[in-house]
Each structure stands twice: as C-alpha cells, then as structure tokens.
Amino acid sequence: MNITLWIVQGLLAFGFMYSGWMKAFQHEKAKASWHWVNDIPKGLVSFIGIVELLGVLGLILPQALDIAPVLTPLAAAALAVVVLLGALFHVQRKEYRDIGVNIVFLVLALIVAIGRF
C-alpha cells in the first residue's frame, strides 16, 4: 500500500507542479492553455499556482523526510479542496469538459489523504 500511495503522490505532485508553475510563473502560457485564465485577475491565478506548488511540497517532503508526516495527508486534503473549488468554478461557467481532470485529481488527492491518515 505504501508503494501505491507513493506512486499516487508522485502523479499528483507532477500534475500540480506543472499547473502550479504555469499559473504562478508563466501567465501568458497559462492564458493560452486555459481560457478561464483570461477572465480571472492575474494575482488570483498566481495565488492559486503558489498554493498548488506549496501543496506539492507538502505532498512529498514531510513523508519523505519523516518530519511531521501528518502534514502529507493534510496537504493532500487541502489540494482536494482546491481541485473541488476548481470543479465548482467550471460548473458555474458551464465548462463541463474541463471538470474531468478536476475529478481525477480530486480522487487521487483523496486517496492520498485517506491512505496517509
């Protein structure tokens, strides 16, 4: 089970690192990739990206370094909330095809949160 959780954590970390980096530091590329970025203030998009990047650190470092490993499931739960809010945002905007990725990442984050608690 531990190996499976590490694989899921790695997938989550990779996905959130990619999207978080684009949102936080490559705004123009994010605007080209995700049309919703054009309608949201740049500061909010950057904030979401930074939160995702911090979540990546929380997913990996506490468990890997065995320093306060309880922070790993907390980070996974926090990222699940971020993804859930993103899905609700897409529902509100009637962007239903964008919700699939949110659901996948929500399920993966919940697996890590439950598995590590």
Distance of CA 99 to the CA centre of its chain: 13
State the pLDDT confidence band at 35, using cuts at 50, 70 and 90. confident
Identity of residue 34: W
CA–CA separation, 111 and 114 (whole Å): 5
User: What DSSP designation does 70 have?
Assistant: T
State the pLDDT confidence band at 75, using cuts at 50, 70 and 90. very high
Neighbour-count burial of 58, counting CB atoms closer than 10 A to its CB (0-12 exposed, 13-18 middle, 19+ buried): buried
Q: What is the mean pLDDT of residues 78-85?
A: 96
